[in-house]
Structure 1
């Protein structure tokens, strides 16, 4: 069988229904669905809302981009010490084989001990130890991201008797994907009810050989009841992880007469909508809050700093009865400083230097020039006296040389 490939678009539009939705934490995952082309019926519904994965401390939702940094699982998780995260939407596809589609950590053909690049745990698709899946079979619903493993039947609207597809995954993911299929593809029973999603029992439909496409590192699957891929049978599984599985060229072709348009719609819609980590931008309220905090923080520091300075000043001058402490309010102190500065500048404008003022009585142009020249000459004289003092006659006279004294022999 050939691996299904990514394709834009899909089948005919269907009718969206409302019913029970996945648990939601946060308020803006529907923005991811809207920006990625989901129908308005879907992104306005509760199924577009994110749900929280506590062990990863993150929200995941339909049409999320994934991404994020890798992290190590803590001791309270079923698989402590393993890596998780950083898987993206572009890496969502696997193949028809269990254990496919790992962006990293796919060592050997068995999946036991592997990381969780998309945060979700793989599905134990059968009651046998199929490719090392036993360790994921007994994970409780409260410990598994998205809840217990469930399945939902998906059938085309015009053929409900001869064609039966199934989607298998965690409860929250299956519900969200089914709602997306109801709005994108012409499926029968588009309204989600209490019987739409049922718990999955390993050993019943679907079996590994009925899966036609794995997604999200074997944590979500699309199967066809009438398909029997002999290459995926338990009997054809390699005996150990060091041995290679049969090549994809050994896959059994899909049954003849399938509606390829409907199948492609299922494939592309699942790949686009299966929940991943939601990395949302900041909302308008969050941006406004950050701006206000960034502006208020310096003011708070100034007020606190002024209070500390005033307290230190009072302690240092507590024995001086004439000392006037700084004002309590920062604004009062700032106002006094500005008033003092304004007064100094006013005084400087009134008197330029040595009594010369621009407020002298009105003079003619020639008188003004003469006065300026006199002021300049006086200024030069003062500078000369300051830096080149004139020596008087006594100080300028050279000292007389000492008389020569003849040594007596």
Structure 2
């Protein structure tokens, strides 16, 4: 489902491309903002930041032995392939042929979203819980956006760094359409009760290998993880 302004902002600004830390390269557009991918070190890619508005791409590597999810592929995803559907496990490049999101690689480096306990279709712990600090981009977080015309409420769930970057991009491009009650900073998903958090059936679209989800209050896609 297309949501004017908000969907457009998500597709344009969701951090995709991985680059070395400051001083190590380029590749972003003039509007790009570098955000951290890991809280410590550069992880198994040797790269530690992602860029908003970037095009993605790059070499696909295999996660080495001794690292989390060793043997899986990582990298290579481009902006043109970040778009998914309302189904968890969508938003992967065709080249990844991902049949099982819980055993798939990471074309954009980031891990798929997880929901609060009890909402993960029997796969609790596959990618850690919502407060997992080893998740690329930091623990799971959410942002709330409320229309100033009809009080429609949307949520974005992703890692903390991605949510922070999207709040900034949406605030820049969509302020005139949003209520002042919309989020100005990420809210840790672990701090939101399971009954108050967006539910899987409220997902309207997954992006970036299901590592970002846009949800709508009152919506029911009748498809869960």
Q: Report how many aligned residue pairs link the two structures.
A: 202
Q: Deviations over 1:119-146 (max 9, x none)?
A: 0000112424427464113386432111
Gap runs ≥5 in structure 1: 12-23, 235-409
Residue 206 of structure 1 corresponds to which residue in structure 2?
Answer: 198
- 1:4-48, CA deviations, whole angstroms, 9 ceiling, x for partnerless residues? 4999x959xxxxxxxxxxxx94169997242xxx4xxxx5xxxx2
Aligned to 1:225: 217
Higher normalized contact order (CA 8 Å, seq sep 6+, divided by chain length): 2
- SS for the counterpart of 1:116 is coil
Higher strand share: 2
- Local SS of the residue matching 2:157: strand
Q: What is the distance in 2 between the residues matched to 1:164 and 1:214?
A: 17
How far apart, in 2, do the equivalents of 1:136 and 1:229 lie?
Answer: 23
> Counterpart in 2 of 1:174?
163
- Aligned partners of 1:200, 1:62: CA distance in 2, in Å? 22
1:154 alignment counterpart: 145
> Which structure 2 residue ranges, 5 or more long, are not aligned?
10-19
2:61 is aligned to: 71
1:192 Cα shift? Answer: 6.7
Q: Residue 214 of structure 1: SS of its match in structure 2?
A: strand
Q: Deviations over 1:21-77 (max 9, x none)?
A: xxx94169997242xxx4xxxx5xxxx233244112223121121101011113343
Q: Residues 49 and 105 (structure 1 numbering): CA distance in 2 closer, same or farther, change over 3 Å?
A: closer
**Counterparts of 1:87-106 in structure 2 under 5 Å?**
87-103=77-93, 104-106=95-97
Return the match for 1:26 from 11, 22, 27. Answer: 22
Query: In the alignment, which of 180, 188, 212 is matched to residue 189 of structure 1?
Result: 180
1:54-65 to structure 2, matched below 5 A, reads 54-55=42-43, 56-58=45-47, 59-65=49-55
Number of the residue aligned with 2:106: 116
User: Following superposition, which runs of at least 4 residues in structure 1 exceed 4 angstroms of deviation?
Assistant: 27-31, 190-193
